[in-house]
Structure 1
Amino acid sequence: MKPLRDNVHVWYCQIQSPEAWCAVEFVLSMEEITAGQRRHDKASKTRYWLAHSCIRLLIGHYINVDPRHISFQKNSFGKPRVVGHDISFSVSYTSNCFAIAFSKSGELGVDIEWLNPGFDFFPVATRFFGDDEIRSILCEEPTHQRRSFFEIHTLKEAYSKAQGEGLSFDRERYEFHKNPHAPQSRLCVDSEVSCINDKWSFHAVYLDLDLVASLAIDKPAPVCIETFHLTQDMYSQLIKRLQEY
């Protein structure tokens, strides 16, 4: 694992057996426990609690602080940041999975989506995507159009999360296209001024065959991105580290 200082780390977790993951109550604040309880079903509650316990545990690992003593502060749109430490993070959920991205070199956003085979994506694309984005989807082979849609969708959502503006963020203003010079990199075009946003970098991130994930990073390319699959054993090791604080 490279130091987080000049890199971005993305942790991905797939929850196969929720009952096997435990000890979240020893890490979370009462506010986080209550927020999880407001989720509509047991699976969503478990996913929320586990993801937020991992946020605390991993931040504690990066900055060498007891995860239970980490404080968060939200902006007016609800985006949290770590109080007193120069580390940014973003979390996204889909199905039984979640992903968390970390950076020490600027704001970032991550978004993941399950490639739902029953989802009718085209009405969404015609409502929220630009003409060039729709054309790029239709130019793909029919078997690849769904993935192409979700790549653009997750890029818009990741950029929105990074900006921290909530629903006020204008997703229709920014169009995303593949970068012919870098397979995993994406180009962002500001349609209001017809120019490429080269102050940020945007990336497709491979996590799993049935998932699409994207990153938006407040840093010009190139950016080094590392991905990690968070297993139950890794989680248990992070929990055991609590005894060291």
Structure 2
Amino acid sequence: MTTGQCGDAPLLSDNAVDVHLAFWNDLIPCLPEYYQWLSGDEKEKAARFHRVSDHNQFIIGRGLLRKLLGHYAGIPPQRLQFNYNPFGKPFLAKPLNANGIHFNLSHSHRVLVCAITKKGEIGIDVEYMRPIAGLNHVARHFFSGYENRVFELLPLPEQLGAFYACWTRKEAFVKLKGQGLAIPLKSFTVSLLPGEPPELLALPNGEDPARYFMYEVNLLENYKIVLCAEGPVETICPFVG
């Protein structure tokens, strides 16, 4: 797998993932245009947010998603149509998705990332590595038994990085599966030791973890970004801004 700066977003190759990173503050001027691109049900969802920041965040996220997907699909952003799986994960409606595009979106602390590919289901998670009070308590609640044993043996200065390594790897897998809280985070196990590559170690119900591949995408200091894919990825192309 290779990672490199890929210039302007090209047409997707069959075994590549494009990862787009954007900053919320840079996209605030786009709010009026993005809102006009939304479908009726998206506008209704935006209206249900009570906090202005949540309202604007939804519009910016969905507007940017439409802009990016419109580029890859060769369709104006406002013409894109989304369907949803039973757990609410969006996907492009088939009549307008002749290229077989899959995507996933994540945001944290003023940063948004979007993974786009043709190779199959994809999951991505970004987390800003802020300090967390009661870190061990949070880990015990969400991590598997093996993950907790490894985590608690780490020196204190290494625990925060290991926590976010574990969390982003878990979230990326759950987002790939598109089943939300139906997959408890402690029901499966990932790698988390400092310097250890991201990897699924164990899954419930006899599912083979070897069919899933994880990759760290290092784009910003103090952020963890992890990508999870079905099968190996040949190239990850990052785009910033």
Deviation per CA, 1:107-130: give whole Å up to 9, x if none. 011111121224432212112212
* TM score, norm. by length of structure 2: 0.83
Are residue 38 (structure 1) and residue 52 (structure 2) matched? no
Over the matched positions of the two proteins, sequence identity in percent amounts to 23
Q: Select the residue among 11, 17, 24 that pairs with 2:20.
A: 11
* TM score, norm. by length of structure 1: 0.82
**Equivalent residue of 1:8, what SS?**
strand
In the alignment, which residue of structure 2 is the partner of 1:226?
A: 237
- Contact 1:28 1:68 (C-alpha < 8 Å) held by counterparts: yes
**Equivalent residue of 2:191, what SS?**
strand
- Contact 2:125 2:225 (C-alpha < 8 Å) held by counterparts: yes
* Higher mean displacement: 16-25 or 151-160: 16-25
Q: Which runs of 5+ in 1 are unaligned?
A: 231-245
**Equivalent residue of 1:136, what SS?**
helix
| Alignment map for 1:197-208 (pairs within 5 Å) | 197-208=209-220
Q: How many Å separate the matches in 2 of 1:99 and 1:76?
A: 24
Deviation per CA, 1:123-175: give whole Å up to 9, x if none. 12112212332343345443331121011111111111111112111322221
* Higher mean displacement: 42-51 or 13-22: 13-22
**Equivalent residue of 2:65, what SS?**
helix
- Contact 1:179 1:186 (C-alpha < 8 Å) held by counterparts: no
Q: How many Å separate the matches in 1 of 2:109 and 2:72?
A: 27
**Equivalent residue of 1:68, what SS?**
helix
In the alignment, which residue of structure 2 is the partner of 1:59?
A: 69
- Contact 1:187 1:202 (C-alpha < 8 Å) held by counterparts: yes
Q: How many Å separate the matches in 2 of 1:184 and 1:52?
A: 34
RMSD between superposed Cα atoms in Å: 2.5
Q: How many Å separate the matches in 1 of 2:140 and 2:193?
A: 22
| Alignment map for 1:167-182 (pairs within 5 Å) | 167-177=181-191
* Higher mean displacement: 91-100 or 118-127: 118-127
**Equivalent residue of 1:172, what SS?**
helix
Change (3 A) 1:42 1:153: same
The one-letter amino acid of 2:143's match is F
Q: Select the residue among 147, 154, 160 that pairs with 1:133.
A: 147
Q: How many Å separate the matches in 2 of 1:120 and 1:223?
A: 39
Deviation per CA, 1:44-101: give whole Å up to 9, x if none. 2222111111111111111211221111110111111101221111111222222111
The higher relative CO (CA closer than 8 Å, separation ≥ 6) is in: 2
* Higher mean displacement: 87-96 or 39-48: 39-48
Q: Which runs of 5+ in 2 are unaligned?
A: 1-5
Are residue 186 (structure 1) and residue 195 (structure 2) matched? no
The one-letter amino acid of 1:8's match is V
**Equivalent residue of 1:21, what SS?**
helix
Q: How many Å separate the matches in 2 of 1:102 and 1:184?
A: 26
In the alignment, which residue of structure 2 is the partner of 1:236?
A: none
Q: How many Å separate the matches in 2 of 1:195 and 1:144?
A: 31
Change (3 A) 1:191 1:214: same
